[in-house]
A and B are shown apart, each in its own frame.
Chain A
Amino acid sequence: MSILNPLRTPGPADAGLPMRAYRSVRGTPARWALYGRITALNFKAQASYRGEFLLGLLFGLVWQGALVLFAGVLLLRFPGLGGWTQGDVLLIAAMRLLSHGGYVAFFPNVSNLSFLVQQGNVDGYLLRPLPLYRQVLLARFPINSLGDLLAGVGVFAVALARLDVAWTPVKALYVAAGIIGGMLVEGSLQTALSIAAFRFTGLATWTAWVDETLSTYGNYPLNVLPGAVRGTLTFGLPLAFIAYLPASIVTGHAGTTGVPAWLAAASPAVGLLLFLAVKAGWYGSVRWYQSPGG
């Protein structure tokens, strides 16, 4: 076939074909196959920085381990925090860690958006026939996620051993939904923040601050904090919905959260709705995008 062998072809192989726009990749399976290929390429690209890659694998584990250590040390030293048993508090920590593990697997590049803008990557994304947000999510392979998830699974196992909860399939499913909801809350927060990257620099400190705040204060029963602070962490920076509120439903502390029980129970839905709203807002803000000069 001459088309397969360009050297034998007298002119360009497509000389006789009319010019047309290619249809973008259609259908969910094809799309995901494409995302899989991009992810594999990213993996390869990052694996070429050897030391970095191996450190990255370790990193999630060490970081979350450090935070668990922080929470663990305090739990041992200050038992009965806010009327919660150690097992109950560990459930908060475990759910938050697993949510965060999911977040790190899917959303970590959102918090790097300012970096991607600075390096000119976003210019390139805007010229490709794929959704911009998806391309941002696929910018780098989430090396850290493995360590994060492992830390989460470990703490979850310890929490299960110490928990005094009569498990039913519904409760188990609810915990799973709560973890996914928590992942979406964290994803929405960082996505909302990343909107600023279209226009401003200096976002990195904010993403780091949000990450640090969620990691530090997301592990406690928030009812130990004064009402105003609790309110801020529920409706301002909605950290409470990540693990505290769903865990309060499972452990029977819903009455002390200061939030209507139905709202606490609806945490997974809150996560989903928040994410959809933020994503719509994110796309609406692309028009603010200022390409880096030069």
Chain B
Amino acid sequence: MNISSASAGDQAGTIVAENLTKVFFSTARVPGPLGAVRSLIHPRRVATTAVDGVGFRIEPGRLAAFLGPNGAGKSTTIKMLTGILTPTGGRVEVNGLVPHKARIANARLVGAVFGQRSQLWWDLPAIDSLRVLADIHGVPPAELRVRLARFDRILELSAFWDNRARQLSLGQRVRCDLAAALIHDPPVLYLDEPTIGMDVVVKEQVREFLREQVEQRGRTVVLTTHDMTEVERLAGRVILINSGRIVYDGDLDGLRATHADAQDPTDLEAIMRHAFTADTDQDLDTLDMEQAVPAG
């Protein structure tokens, strides 16, 4: 970890990625019962490139959305930013730290919600989970009280946080998970498809919360989503990923301009279709390979 060489990237809330690459190795499955036996005795290893030389820089207090088809490498990128996955190549720096090297320090400065995976304890009332997590992060009780009250104001958690996690509805649980990810007030928040499967009302509530986090609290938020409305409401900046590469990085207006020949340049979904099918036409082989990617 070379702190002195990081100059402007030193600041809390900055995310820098350069030429980030991740290759997964998996065992190839041969179909048929004989194939199963063969893989049992002599497994064949296959390498798949999930993320292929991605680079970007996100400034403090900004929100950026990763967009792309399933298996494009969005989640893998986010997981490398969080430090959970170690990149195969390239450089990543978040809050001036290399996340996978300085895990503990990094953990104090980032929060994350991975889609439908909950970090709440399955059998505990959600509020108990939040308290235990606050202990793990060493949050003083007075600060915790203030923070919970603030989360409660927008997310209306107190209506259900006495219920056990397994009894919460999806929307309730993800809202609790948002609070859990922010319990230590980190400058950076990662969200991997946070609103997937939520109803419109809850979605709007979560967006409102995220907007407040970015605009008023000055948090850096990175999210992946398939929800075009969300992109239009929240994201000033979109990063389009396909087949592990960045195909567009900029604001929405620029994206519209690039794809002016799409069916309806005002309709973001039409633009997405245009962007991703155009890409696959050029590179059909890559897409076929992507479908075999285990994680992404």
Contacts and interface: CB of A to CB of B under 8 A. Distances in A.
Interface in B169-188: 169-170, 173
Contact of A294 (B37, B39, B170): B170
A40 B35 CA distance: 12
Which of under 10, 10 to 19, 20 to 34, or 35 or more describes the interface residues of B?
10 to 19
| Secondary structure of the A contact surface, majority rule | helix
A293 B168 CA distance: 6
Contacts of B33: 40, 43-44
A48 B168 contact: no
B36 A50 contact: no
B36 A294 contact: no
B147 interface: no
Given A50-B43, A293-B173, A294-B173, A44 B166 contact: no
A50 B170 contact: no
Contacts of A50: 39-40, 43
B37 to A, nearest CB: 7
B126 to A, nearest CB: 11
A53 interface: yes
B116 interface: yes
B286 interface: no
Contacts of B169: 293-294
A47 interface: yes
A294 B116 contact: yes
A270 B27 CA distance: 49
Interface string A90-121: 00000000000000000000000000000000
A50 B165 CA distance: 33
B145 interface: no
Contacts of B173: 293-294
B166 A293 contact: yes
A47 to B, nearest CB: 5
Contacts of B29: 48
A290 B173 CA distance: 18
Interface of A: 40, 43-44, 47-48, 50, 53-54, 201, 292-294
